[in-house]
Structure 1
Amino acid sequence: MAFLEFQGVRVTFGPYVALEGVNLRVAEGEFVSLVGPTGCGKSTLLNLAAGLLHPTSGTVLLQGKPLTGLNPLAGYLFQQDAILPWRTARDNVALPLVFRGRSWKEAREEAQLWLEKVGLGRFGHLFPYQLSGGMRKRVGLAQVLIARPRLLLMDEPFSALDVQTRQLMENELLRLWEEGLQGGEEDRKTVLFVTHDLTEAIALSDRVVVMAAGPRSRPIGEFRIPLPRPRDVAEVRLTPEFLRLEREIWGLLREEVMRAHAGTQA
């Protein structure tokens, strides 16, 4: 049984058919990346998995059961920062626990542990405006992970970062995800990751799914990534196997990017 599954999913926005005939299975503990041209419905699939959007037809299954409301097992990391500017880094990370009824004292203590896990143990007293972009992204990651989601939904979370900081965050994500796989059920994360960067998708993932250009987008190719773990995202990109995979996937993805571009010029 798949941990997350889309069965015959169709999504329309008025007369526009965003997704049609989407069938996709994600196993527990799997890291799956979605790639495709702008407007192909990648973020729409994340919103379906989060329960923020419901299919026009078809079904989204979570652990074999239809998802009918908000996904209680999901944590969502957006492209833009979702942390409160008037709260310290520590309080931002603590908020999910406070919302669940924990005292501020207990929540702050656990938040401090998560800040240490993401390398910000000395910066919990600072406000977001005092942090770099990479540090704010680490706060956001800790804020999501402190709630112990079983499903981690990530929508281009590192796209606004410079190349060096982005690679650091990618390695940090892989480290935390791989540690979780070695832990108990609550720590094990299934990841659905959206990116426009094919090299990022290959470096991080167990599987890369290519989406067709919209409208009526759907998965048109799935590629297993047999690169050994643990991985360093900078080093793995230099290996012959990585370059082979990049050429193979780009051969399919390029056609969809050109189709999408032609559609916008029509």
Structure 2
Amino acid sequence: MSPSQDNLTASVSQEVALALVDITVAFPSRSGPGQYYTAVQGATLRVARGEFLSVVGPTGCGKSTLLNVAAGLLAPTGGYVEVFGERLQGINRKAGYMFQADALMPWRSALENVAAGLIFRGVPKPQALERAAEWLRRVGLAGHGHSFPHQLSGGMRKRTALAQMLILDPDILLMDEPFSALDVQTRQLMENELLELWSADRKSVVFITHDLEEAIALSDRVVVLSAGPGAHPIGEYPIDLPRPRDVAEIRLSPHFVDLHGRIWHTMKAEVLKGYAQTMEG
């Protein structure tokens, strides 16, 4: 193991924050009564406390399905989930979820959107709004608290959604392609913003993305899923790039290029298989 890998291992606790064990998820099929489509089969993922894990794979391979299982929004057909060693029953209260699509309430201002979770938990409104204002400042939106979602740019809405999740101080961050709709420049700014906020307290992160470069630039480890049906992990790669990172600059390093080539070698056949399936559909 290289010195950089030693440093990586030392920076991440060996305590397992989230474990998805032998997960299978089957949905009723349109083929007819009694027919099922097995989206995920026998998938196991473990995320250490403080680890930033990205999951990549072909379109439709079950990445979001696994995230919904981790959040407790979807009960698996088989297998189980553990959160800090305890079997998950119902919603994962230790996790925050950042969706691909905007989940902001359009009738509330940015400040009110960020404060909403605290208010729902019983925090007095003045205190919730004060803390929401601080989080908007932390994500670079001081002065935009009274703007409504339709008045914000795409990047500003993502910053608001990030603050909305982080204000609740979850131990685990579940992120489903949160920056995929942004232009390249705004996306890189948001990725750096996320890394800066994450490095402050090292939450456990499960980050879903189609973008292999994004996965490598952000993560401690990248897991590759096979194409469906019956998607499952087919490879995992420690990302022993130094931190702190600038996601634009790190992409230029020779080791980044080497990691990209090795992971893409595993992914390529699955991506082509997934593409063929979409064409057949």
Aligned counterpart in structure 2 of residue 81 of structure 1, from 102, 112, 115: 102
- Deviation, 1:265, is 3.3
- Structure 1 outlier segments of 4+, above 2 Å: 262-266
For 1:224-235, list aligned pairs within 5 A.
224-235=238-249
Question: Which runs of 5 or more residues in structure 2 are unaligned?
Answer: 1-14, 29-35
Work out whether residues 217 and 247 of structure 2, in 8 Å CA contact, stay in contact via their aligned partners in 1.
yes
For 1:113-124, list aligned pairs within 5 A.
113-124=134-145
Work out whether residues 59 and 275 of structure 2, in 8 Å CA contact, stay in contact via their aligned partners in 1.
no
Query: TM-score, normalization: structure 2?
Result: 0.91
For the pair 1:35 / 2:53, whether they are aligned, the reply is no
The one-letter code of the counterpart of 1:12 is A
- Deviation, 1:47, is 0.3
CA distance in 1, matches of 2:154, 2:44: 36
For the pair 1:200 / 2:219, whether they are aligned, the reply is no
CA distance in 1, matches of 2:194, 2:129: 22
Work out whether residues 22 and 80 of structure 2, in 8 Å CA contact, stay in contact via their aligned partners in 1.
yes
> Which range moved further: 9-18 or 170-179?
9-18
CA distance in 2, matches of 1:102, 1:152: 22
Q: For residues 141-187 of structure 1, what are the alpha-carbon distances to aligned partners after superposition, in whole Å with 9 as ceiling and x for unaligned?
A: 00000000101000000000011100000000000000113xxxxxx
- Deviation, 1:70, is 0.2
CA distance in 2, matches of 1:28, 1:132: 33
CA distance in 2, matches of 1:28, 1:192: 11
Match of 1:223 in 2: 237
SS of 2:16's equivalent in the other structure is coil
CA distance in 1, matches of 2:125, 2:162: 20
The one-letter code of the counterpart of 2:221 is R
CA distance in 1, matches of 2:149, 2:155: 11
For 1:1-266, list aligned pairs within 5 A.
1-14=15-28, 15-181=36-202, 189-266=203-280
Identity %: 60
SS of 2:174's equivalent in the other structure is strand
The one-letter code of the counterpart of 1:190 is S
SS of 2:123's equivalent in the other structure is coil
CA distance in 2, matches of 1:43, 1:136: 21
Cα RMSD (Å): 0.9
- Deviation, 1:264, is 2.9
What is the aligned residue count?
A: 259
Question: Which runs of 5 or more residues in structure 1 are unaligned?
Answer: 182-188
The one-letter code of the counterpart of 1:251 is H
SS of 1:136's equivalent in the other structure is helix
Q: For residues 14-47 of structure 1, what are the alpha-carbon distances to aligned partners after superposition, in whole Å with 9 as ceiling and x for unaligned?
A: 2101111111111011000000001111001100
SS of 1:3's equivalent in the other structure is strand
